[in-house]
């Protein structure tokens, strides 16, 4: 039995006080979800539906069956990043990303590469290079990785998360210090374009909907980089949604992103029900409603983009239990941030999303 499974009836009877308290307070209850009918998302959407994937999940028949049914694009959750590929300075490791690429090829799913240059990656290896060797190693990494997957990926997150956490300006990183604040990004896009001229090259960022200041800085950054000639081919909004944000904020952001005329990728959708450090007296049902409101707003705003700008709609995992938000010490096994429950069943949210994608 899994440690996060709901309390059994026997345990509850043995602890009447706890049982009474749980019954009185639905915010702690793990209600048995009623079965929900929803058509496979990929069958109703006129654009690709994506999920994050880890190579190990390809060995889980339940994950594979759900992925085959629901999605037609995959993004490696971490095994196409420097932390995996660049484990040592003199040897690149490709077995897991190769396996994911082969699985995509075999099943006909598109592969979205994630991520070439990210502030949180590569610092240790790159700190070993002097001013002459740093730019060469930067170019070589991109050439080798993007070159290897040329014709296998449809797109890349070339630069991930360049905006400062609070949204004011650009993030300081080992890349910006060595190659300039805009310089490292322009260079990354140019080098990726050389290595894989057909791939759609994305600038990808998070909290754009949650933090309008960050959204505005992202838009200004895109404008500046395009003016400088960076071959940006698409804009990625991760959409790790804060379900508390005011209605309308997501719509505004997506419309503004669309203003560039480039494809837009909802690249890492999830919507946590947790509210860290804040007393929250609302019931789980109320929070699920709020989650549904924000996710559906995102889907409707995405559908309002011109068809050629709807690149893909990707969730950051399939089942709730697959989510990065359900790992680690602070996990209580209760969060429901994704589109399928722990058993791989669709939820009311999934059915509502299918309705929006089908244009109903």
Residues in the site for ligand 9MR, rule: CB under 6 A?
77-78, 81, 83, 160, 206, 238, 268, 324
**Smaller CB distance to ligand 9MR: residue 83 or 341?**
83
Closest CA to 334 of 119, 28, 60, 99: 28
**Smaller CB distance to ligand 9MR: residue 267 or 350?**
267
- List the beta strands (DSSP E) in the chain: 49-53, 73-76, 110-118, 155-160, 200-205, 234-237, 240-241, 264-271, 310-315
**Smaller CB distance to ligand 9MR: residue 119 or 357?**
119
**Three-class secondary structure of residue 152 per DSSP:** coil
CA distances from 295 to 80, 224, 232 (A): 27, 30, 27
Residue with tokens 């990494």: 141
**Smaller CB distance to ligand 9MR: residue 157 or 196?**
157
Shortest distance in whole angstroms from residue 86 CB to ligand 9MR: 13
Shortest distance in whole angstroms from residue 36 CB to ligand 9MR: 26
Shortest distance in whole angstroms from residue 205 CB to ligand 9MR: 9
Shortest distance in whole angstroms from residue 77 CB to ligand 9MR: 5
| Tokens describing residue 187 | 């260079």
CB-based contacts of 110, cutoff 8 Å, min separation 6:
48, 50, 72, 73, 74, 104, 154, 155, 312
Q: Which residue is nearest to ligand 9MR (CB)?
A: 324
**Smaller CB distance to ligand 9MR: residue 72 or 121?**
121
**Smaller CB distance to ligand 9MR: residue 175 or 206?**
206
Shortest distance in whole angstroms from residue 224 CB to ligand 9MR: 22
Positive or negative, the CA dihedral 184, 185, 190, 196 is positive
């Amino acid at each position: 039995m899994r440690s996060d499974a709901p309390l059994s009836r026997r345990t509850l009877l043995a602890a009447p006080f706890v049982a009474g308290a749980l019954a009185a307070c639905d915010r702690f209850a793990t209600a048995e979800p009623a079965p929900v009918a929803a058509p496979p998302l990929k069958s109703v959407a006129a654009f690709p539906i994506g999920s994050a994937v880890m190579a190990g999940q390809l060995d889980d028949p339940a994950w594979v069956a759900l992925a085959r049914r629901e999605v037609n694009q995959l993004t490696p959750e971490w095994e196409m990043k420097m932390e995996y590929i660049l484990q040592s300075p003199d040897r690149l490791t490709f077995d897991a990303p190769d396996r994911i690429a082969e699985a995509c090829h075999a099943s006909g799913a598109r592969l979205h590469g994630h991520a070439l240059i990210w502030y949180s990656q590569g610092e240790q290896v790159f700190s070993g290079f002097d001013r002459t060797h740093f730019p060469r190693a930067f170019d070589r990494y991109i050439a080798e990785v993007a070159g290897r997957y040329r014709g296998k990926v449809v797109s890349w997150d070339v630069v991930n998360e360049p905006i400062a956490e609070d949204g004011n300006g650009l993030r300081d990183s080992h890349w910006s210090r060595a190659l300039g604040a805009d310089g490292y990004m322009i260079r990354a896009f140019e080098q990726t374009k050389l290595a894989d001229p057909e791939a759609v090259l994305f600038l990808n960022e998070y909290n754009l909907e949650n933090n309008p200041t960050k959204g505005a800085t992202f838009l200004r950054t895109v404008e500046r980089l395009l003016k400088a000639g960076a071959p940006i081919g698409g804009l990625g909004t991760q959409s790790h949604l804060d379900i508390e944000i005011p209605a309308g904020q997501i719509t505004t952001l997506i419309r503004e992103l669309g203003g560039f005329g480039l494809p837009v990728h909802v690249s890492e959708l999830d919507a946590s029900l947790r509210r860290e450090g804040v007393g929250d007296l609302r019931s789980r049902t109320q929070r699920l409603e709020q989650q549904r409101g924000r996710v559906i707003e995102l889907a409707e705003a995405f559908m309002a983009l011109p068809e050629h700008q709807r690149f893909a709609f990707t969730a950051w995992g399939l089942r709730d239990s697959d989510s990065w938000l359900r790992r680690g010490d602070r996990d209580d096994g209760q969060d429901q941030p994704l589109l399928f429950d722990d058993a791989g069943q669709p939820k009311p949210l999934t059915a509502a999303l299918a309705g929006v994608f089908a244009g109903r």
